[in-house]
Copies of this chain bind each other. A is one copy, B any other.
Amino acid sequence: MPRWRRFGIGPSDRPQGRRRVKKLINDPATVLADLLAGIAAAHPELAVDTEHRLILRAAGSRPGKVALISGGGSGHEPLHAGFVGPGMLDAACPGEVFTSPVPDQVLAAIRATDSGAGVVLVVKNYTGDVLNFQLAAELAAEQGHQVRTVLVNDDVAVEDSTFTAGRRGTGATVVVEKVAGALAERGASAVEVASVGERANAASRSFAIALSAATVPAVGRPGFDLPADRIEAGVGIHGEPGRRREALRPARELAAEVVDTVLAEHPLRAGDQAIALVNGLGATPLMELYVVFGAVAARLAEHGITIARSLVGNYVTSLDMAGFSLTLTRADPELLELWDAPADTPVLRRP
């Protein structure tokens, strides 16, 4: 079931007659197919399997290498297709907008990429994703594939929310895919690759605030309304409600609150190093993300935490939501070394 349906929005709420949702799409029903066509046209280094709805490395992967696979609803681009390539993913399985990929799709990805060393699935913690990836893993195991799963659950906003039991998975997915992908590229076993992915997830926590809601194309209106002077704190990447609505304040105050909220449930301590991701939710200009990052860095310094590596930009988006998420990963020498390892994907490139 599409996640947006769980907001209680049914087909009768879809745009009526000739009115079009104000987006650069052809039709709400063809968004995924049109997205795949665009990715195929833009990235000759990727192979798009339109039948199974997979994005793969065009050159294939090294035989004997553990395959790293992820996926989830569309609308979070560049996640996951933007991280397919040497040093990160072997395959991405995009579902419809805000909707889990189906088990057959994940199974097709496993069959397309497992060269005998097994596969590791990176799954964001949403009930639909968890169930569908688990079913695919069981089907694949029956067919003789060795399958390990890394569950990403970094969002400290809420325990148990609209689509999730436990913490939701968000920005840490990028960190998990980078470090697990780097280790897989070196010939590590599926157990080792999954283990470092789990370690990166356990070392990560995130929190997001929204200035405006996303509009799902098939719905045609924002998932929630926010007054001009209010923000939603603890929002999810499908517009799941957060902890509370708060007053809009200067970026430095919002950033400090987000840092403090993340640290309250984080193993990070004074003296630690962190990988910091200030992530745009889709409609926030890079100028503003840098303003936020400056404030995040200042607040972390007050906590005695050093930013060892960082990303600022749109990595895990929520359609056209305005706002940002902060992900902090406690860095250690192994994670930093894997973070810095070579990668050649549409979004992350390292020499």
Contacts and interface: CB of A to CB of B under 8 A. Distances in A.
Interface of A: 19-20, 22-27, 31, 34-35, 37-42, 74-75, 77-78, 82, 97, 211-212, 228-229, 248-252, 254, 278, 282-298, 307, 310, 312, 314, 317, 319-320, 322-324, 344, 349-351
A107 to B, nearest CB: 25
Chain A contact residues: over half helix, strand or loop, or mixed? Answer: mixed
18 contacts: A20-B229, A23-B211, A23-B288, A24-B211, A24-B251, A26-B252, A26-B295, A27-B250, A34-B251, A34-B290, A41-B294, A42-B297, A74-B287, A77-B286, A77-B290, A282-B283, A349-B349, A351-B351
Contact of A41 (B288, B297, B351): B297
B282 A24 contact: no
Nearest to A226: B22
A291 B77 contact: no
A150 to B, nearest CB: 24
Nearest to A253: B26
Given A38-B293, A41-B298, 7 more contacts: A19-B228, A20-B229, A20-B248, A26-B252, A42-B293, A283-B284, A314-B314
Contacts of A298: 37, 41
B31 A248 contact: no
B319 A34 contact: no
